Chain A
Amino acid sequence: MEFSELIRTGRAQAELLRGPEAPPLRGTLCVTSHHLLLSPGTEASPDLWLLLLRSVDSIEKRVAGDSGTITLRCKDLRVLQLDIEGVEATLDIARSIEGLRLGDAWHFHPPERYYQRVARETNAWRLSEVNEDFSLCPSYPRALIVPRSVDDHALARSAGFRQGGRFPVLSYHHAPNGTALLRSSQPLTGPQKRRCAEDEELLRAVLVGARPGARGFIIDTRSAQAAKQARMTGGGTEAKAAYPGWKRLHRPLERGRPLQESFVRLVEACGDLEQSMDRWLSRLEGCRWLEHVKEALSTACLAAQGMEREGACILVHGAEGTDSTLLVTSLAQLILDPLSRTMDGFQELVEREWIQAGHPFQLRCAHSAFSHARPKHEAPTFLLFLDCVWQLGRQFPLSLEFGEGLLLALFEHAYASPFGSFLCNSEKERGLCEVRTRTHSLWSGLNQPKEQRKLRNPLYALNPLAIWPSVEPQSLRLWQGLFLRWTRPPEPSETAWEKVWQIVTDSEKTEGSA
């Protein structure tokens, strides 16, 4: 359910009693998705009164005549009383608070939520629950966004033709020109070059849905040779003749063990404080991490450019479609979509494109860089994503609503977390382990007001344009805040950050009072 639907009423006139010591406050009461807000009339003090809904422990309502009273008992032992004008308003506000105070971020249902956005933009897509019981694809969520003209039966056939059942689904709809970004796994063409009519139809329907005569590009994140070789083991790539209108591009991205080794070698190099300049530079080169950053970013730019400039639809896949595929689709969205660069939008992006999309966090993040165990399934794909986002943030320091703090937190929590968000490898496993009922969501942890100063970018201002980063080696930098976090003195940069915050809040304050 959409959060905002829980808000029954916009506003009402109310008086707030805060106990015997504090004077009562009169003003307009508002309920937002996380806060209860009381804004006093102009003549009184200009301060807003704010209460985090999650801190409400219990709520009690009484109605008498044409007004009502709501008593809120908070987790910090405060008791507050609201006298509200109007019976209907009282009941609405009570219901809103009731619904929202329990509402924590587990109530995010990104497929549905994102679909609502897509549905507002176009009619070409529908939400399919064909994977309701995870039988078609164990690594996909229950609901998926697919072309409206393709029925569930065809989806099932297409799923049979794709590795792990990951048939092409919508990742992002680019409203300005109606193009679509899709992701899937490799087709199971095999040595016999098998075909699947429903799969071909699905991709054809994507182009038709976008606009007449639209073209499509398939970005295969493997080299042409690797894709060819995959045929021997039953995989492969789309044959040109079978998918008219679609062209294939190969952009090999590093994955799996070599990527993990790159990470390990970088961290090793960063741990050596005594090494000479030459040794450091040669190790930085030798680990190839920044090369991977560059490749990931430029592939994402290629995808984004295909949509924005060429007006083409883009399908991204590698082999399983759970690693480098997600890297490319999520970065392309950050580049194109201003909403995904907001605090909420970015969290939703991570939830939708990584957690729900079935990136196997449990396997990939079982060990980090120091483990002596021989890596099996470990790979820092998600970290590579965060690094690329950090590079975007450095090149567009005003365009991301979140700061380095959020990226660091996501890195930490992906590897070890008291929260449940990154547990398990897929939605199916999360269901079986009852993650939603037995753990807390990371997002509700992060969205505490006291965390905000660390996580937010004080200089953020909405930038409606696409952000095209430079991918020249001179423009990419080692993410010192992460890789040298424990080896360099953090103090000067932290106090500088504090200073920036102070200037920004001062500026808000002075503007407010002027």
Chain B
Amino acid sequence: MEHIRTTKVEQVKLLDRFSTNNKSLTGTLYLTATHLLFIDSHQKETWILHHHIASVEKLALTTSGCPLVIQCKNFRIVHFIVPRERDCHDIYNSLLQLSKQAKYEDLYAFSYNPKQNDSERLQGWQLIDLAEEYKRMGVPNSNWQLSDANREYKICETYPRELYVPRIASKPIIVGSSKFRSKGRFPVLSYYHQDKEAAICRCSQPLSGFSARCLEDEHLLQAISKANPVNRYMYVMDTRPKLNAMANRAAGKGYENEDNYSNIRFQFVGIENIHVMRSSLQKLLEVNGTKGLSVNDFYSGLESSGWLRHIKAVMDAAIFLAKAIMVENASVLVHCSDGWDRTSQVCSLGSLLLDSYYRTVKGFMVLIEKDWIAFGHKFSERCGHLDGDPKEVSPVFTQFLECVWHLTEQFPQAFEFNEAFLLQIHEHIHSCQFGNFLGNCQKEREELKLKEKTYSLWPFLLDDLKKYLNPIYNSQSQRFTVLEPSTVSFNFKFWRNMYHQFDRTLHPRQSVFNIIMNMNEQNKQLEKDIKELESKIKQCKNKQTDDILTKELLHSIHPESPTLKSSLCFKEQTLLPVNDALRTIEGSNPTDNRYSDYAEEFSKAEPAVVSLEYGVARMTC
């Protein structure tokens, strides 16, 4: 609290982000210990969590006040005008302090209290059990076993304690291999495909330099290929561009030499590194934030940002992985440099294509826990939870979510969850409200005692399950067991609901989702009613009661149906209010949209002259 000097500022203007004529709302700005809150004159509240703030900028003083621009990690951008510069300065300084904490203990999760007791909290953390998950995949089995090599985090600090390895790989082999891999991240099992008896394994790059070898590492790879009884050949996928991998050799790292490893097929798949991804997203956001953006500028900006190219690269890699297993029955070892960014993307997405379980709500949580959290994707660094190195921040997990979204677009019936679920998870990797994504690896999380001091996100999502279900999900269809997405370029679209989730005016004004969800709900309810009634009628008949009673019964239920009907007609229902990222406004307001700015022209004298003046003005200044 010591950072907060001003808690309330009145007469603050919130500018419309896309309006070219500086439309604004006036209201009061409040600063709390955890949130920045703006309440406009219509009593509409805008809450901004301090942890969501990516940057705060104070622009040059104008006649109407001091502009303050806040960019958030969930892609909300707000532009305030604070009347007095002093207030603006105070708020600016407070936000700078509050948005960048130096210690984990100062993060929201450590003070967040959802009024649960300790056993409920513990239950929440036990919701996802990875041992259970490996059992579901079918390990341990005759070829794979649980290794206790890393039980005390002695071999690899960034791996979890429980690791599955080929049964024939002895501990010395594992230890030897880990010494030959960057950060000790030796090849371990990520996913086991029971039908094909093939495995997805993951690791970091080998420390091969120009000529170094490691017999233990070679043995471990051989053990992995031998653990597959159908196909002795295994793929080694280096997810980096070849050039990057070669450059690493000069630093004593690099990639596997096919001559030294028997039975491997080596393959580069060319996903760019975290720095390229960070600046790509930066470019994308710059383009999108432009006022009065033309269609051409939008598409040329989309192209030059390279964002969709990167998304396609991740997707292509995952498809390659899935095909190797489905078509060739081969096991695959995936790595990049350290094996916690691109490797997590490709392994998790590949498993999602192969196994429909990961397309359910619970399964998707398991997938994130396994391939991202447990295997040490550095959430705190990549999301910038603490005031740290900005070069470590990168939207790697966001890209994963976007790939999943593209799959939901191509296969609208294959996923149990909907877009809101993905958006909500994205919200919380940055919110620091729950403990799941804090820290950079399991060891660090244990040291922070997250399971005792914070809450798990997943039970809270399950409590609100209705919001996140896909109403047209079809779990039965055989066609969806393995997804084979098309990665032809035009299948990739800009994900407006992510990158503009708070720019209400850009979105469809009516939500199909809510309507269908409600209909489904009501169908179920009504079917239940019908069944109940039928059974009552049967009972009545059995009792030989006259049919007056049946009629009465029928009448008694009739008043219900009109209310249901009318609720169906009103689309502004609140039965399933999805968070305000999913809009359900009926109709719309022309002043929401940019063409309304043209309306000024209605009051101008002679447009021909006006446009000429514009031209002159531009030329002179």
Interface residues of A (CB under 8 A from B): 217, 224, 240, 247-250, 270, 273, 275-282, 284-285, 288, 290-291, 293-294, 298, 301-302, 304-306, 308-310, 312, 394-399, 459, 461, 463, 465-478, 480, 484, 487-489, 492-493, 495-496, 499-500, 503-504, 506-507, 510-511, 513-514
Contact = CB atoms under 8 A, between A and B. Distances in A.
B509 interface: yes
Given A309-B599, A492-B413, A503-B523, A396 B493 contact: no
Contact of A488 (B488, B494, B520): B488
Task: With a 10 A CB-CB cut-off, give which of B295, B564, B596, B607 has the most chain A CB atoms.
Answer: B295
Contacts of B588: 465, 467-469
Given A474-B298, A495-B413, A503 B520 contact: yes
Interface residue tally on B, bucketed by range = 35 or more
Contacts of B506: 470, 472, 474-475
Interface string B301-314: 01100101100100
A466 B410 CA distance: 32
B516 A500 contact: yes
B592 A249 contact: no
30 contacts: A224-B608, A247-B606, A249-B607, A277-B303, A278-B309, A282-B303, A290-B299, A291-B294, A301-B590, A301-B593, A310-B602, A459-B512, A459-B516, A467-B587, A468-B590, A470-B593, A473-B295, A473-B298, A476-B295, A477-B493, A488-B488, A488-B491, A492-B412, A495-B413, A496-B413, A499-B472, A506-B523, A510-B523, A511-B564, A514-B529
B383 to A, nearest CB: 24
A279 B308 CA distance: 12
Interface string B594-610: 11101101100011100
B595 A302 contact: yes
A278 B608 contact: no
A503 B516 contact: yes
A337 to B, nearest CB: 14
Given A247-B602, A280-B490, A285-B300, 15 more contacts: A248-B607, A250-B607, A250-B611, A277-B309, A278-B303, A285-B299, A397-B511, A399-B510, A465-B588, A468-B589, A471-B595, A475-B496, A495-B477, A496-B412, A496-B472
B460 interface: no
B202 interface: no
Nearest to B299: A285
A247 B136 CA distance: 73
Given A249-B607, A281-B303, A511-B564, A398 B512 contact: yes
Interface in B309-332: 309, 312
B509 A396 contact: yes
Interface in B520-570: 520, 522-523, 526-527, 529-530, 557, 560-561, 564-565, 568-569
Nearest to A278: B303
Contacts of A397: 508, 510-512
B368 to A, nearest CB: 24
Main secondary structure of the interface of B (DSSP, over half): helix
A41 to B, nearest CB: 16
Task: With a 10 A CB-CB cut-off, give which of B490, B506, B571, B599 has the most chain A CB atoms.
Answer: B490
Contact of B500 (A302, A474, A506): A474
Task: With a 10 A CB-CB cut-off, give which of A306, A470, A477, A487 has the most chain B CB atoms.
Answer: A470
Contact of B413 (A224, A293, A499, A510): A499
A330 B387 CA distance: 56
B506 to A, nearest CB: 5
Given A473-B298, A514-B526, A493 B303 contact: no
A253 B49 CA distance: 45
A288 B413 contact: no
A240 B607 CA distance: 11
Give the top 5 A-B pairs by smallest Cβ distance, nearest first: A465-B587, A285-B299, A473-B298, A280-B489, A281-B303
A277 B569 contact: no
A474 B496 CA distance: 7
Contacts of B496: 474-475
A511 B488 contact: no
A503 B608 CA distance: 54
Nearest to B611: A224
A459 B510 CA distance: 11
Contact of A291 (B295, B489, B492, B587): B295
A275 B492 CA distance: 13
Contacts of A472: 18, 293, 505-506, 593-594
A397 B557 CA distance: 33
A394 B593 CA distance: 16
B71 interface: no
A181 to B, nearest CB: 15
B317 to A, nearest CB: 14
A469 B593 contact: yes
Contact of A507 (B489, B523, B611): B523
A398 B593 contact: no
Given A250-B608, A496-B412, A394 B508 contact: yes
B519 interface: yes
Nearest to A290: B295
Nearest to A477: B493
B512 A503 contact: no
B471 A282 contact: no
Interface string B411-455: 111100000000000000000000000000000000000000000
B474 interface: yes
B490 A478 contact: yes
Contacts of A480: 490
A468 B510 CA distance: 12
A244 B547 CA distance: 77
A285 B303 contact: yes
A301 B599 CA distance: 10
B507 interface: yes
Contacts of A294: 295
B530 A510 contact: yes
Interface in B279-302: 288, 293-300, 302
Contacts of B224: none
Given A291-B294, A396-B509, A466 B587 contact: yes
Interface string B480-494: 000000101111111
A298 B593 CA distance: 10
Nearest to A248: B607
B515 interface: yes
B592 A470 contact: yes
B508 A510 contact: no
Given A493-B412, A510-B523, A470 B596 contact: no
B152 interface: no
Contact of B490 (A270, A293, A469, A510): A270
B290 to A, nearest CB: 10
Nearest to A472: B506
A504 B601 CA distance: 45
Contacts of B608: 224, 248, 250
B602 A217 contact: yes
